[in-house]
Amino acid sequence: MRTLSSATNPFARIYWVPAAALLIASCSGTSFNMSSLTGPAAAPPAYNADQLVGRYGLAAYQRDEDRTRTEAEARSQCRQPYEIAKGPGGGVVMHLADQSQPQELQLKGLAGGKTFIGPEGEAGGDQDREVVSFDGRILVLRWVSTEIAARYGTAVYVRCDGTPPAKKKSVKKTASTKAPSKAAPKAQQKGPVFMAPPQEDDDPPPQNN
């Protein structure tokens, strides 16, 4: 009994063409889905350095329900404010986790409107902080690293611009702090004191005529 191959069977060739097209379309669809797993693309940050520069009271919280109380605590720290300065490269000068000296950090954005503050590199790194919210007065930053966030919490910066500086205590002058009089004894003068040489006693006394 003879069987017809695809080369001699016209119906086999008809079914093969749509099957091949379906396979190619399936592969193309798989490639598109893989590219979508790489994460959101970089985008301009929602804020710039000039908007963040200023003096802030700083406090932190671990639980979201403590945010309102933390804002009040941060506001009370304006007597000793934390300063966010603008860096020479267009970023902001702030501290990284576990660093005693501040350094210039960059504002980095991702598609979807998220903004991060951190060192050079892709947005969302372990040393980055996400800008949770910023209304021009209150800045809330959250560490991307869960380990760092567990130690430092979510930081709340309350702008202190316009807050009067702490008053300096006036020192009352007492009798001991009065300026010395102009007629001070020579012993209190600074520097060497030059004196005339003593007269010799061997000289004969003058004779009266």
Amino acid at 166: A
pLDDT at 46: 95
User: What DSSP designation does 56 have?
Assistant: E
Please answer whether residues 47 and 107 qualify as being in contact, where contact means their C-beta atoms are separated by less than 8 angstroms.
yes
E strand or H helix at 114:
strand 114-118
Q: Structure pTM?
A: 0.61
The amino acid at 69 = R
How big is the chain, counted in residues? 209
With 0-12 CB in 10 A as exposed, 13-18 as middle and 19+ as buried, what is 53?
Answer: middle
pLDDT confidence of residue 38: 57
Q: What's the rounded Cα separation, in Å, for the pair 29 and 208?
A: 138
Give me the pLDDT at residue 208, please.
53
Beta pairing class for 42-43 and 138-143: unpaired
Q: Are 59 and 151 in contact (CB under 8 A)?
A: no
Q: Residue 119 class from Cβ within 10 Å (0-12 exposed, 13-18 middle, 19+ buried)?
A: middle
What is the enclosing helix (H) or strand (E) of 93? strand 92-94
Quote the CA–CA distance of 127 and 120 in Å, as a whole number: 10
**Would you write out the chain's pLDDT as a tens digit for each of its 209 residues?**
555 454 555 544 444 444 444 444 454 444 444 444 556 789 999 999 999 999 999 999 999 999 999 999 999 999 999 999 999 999 999 999 999 999 999 999 999 899 999 999 999 999 999 999 999 999 999 999 999 999 999 999 999 976 444 444 444 544 444 544 454 444 444 433 333 344 444 555 555 54
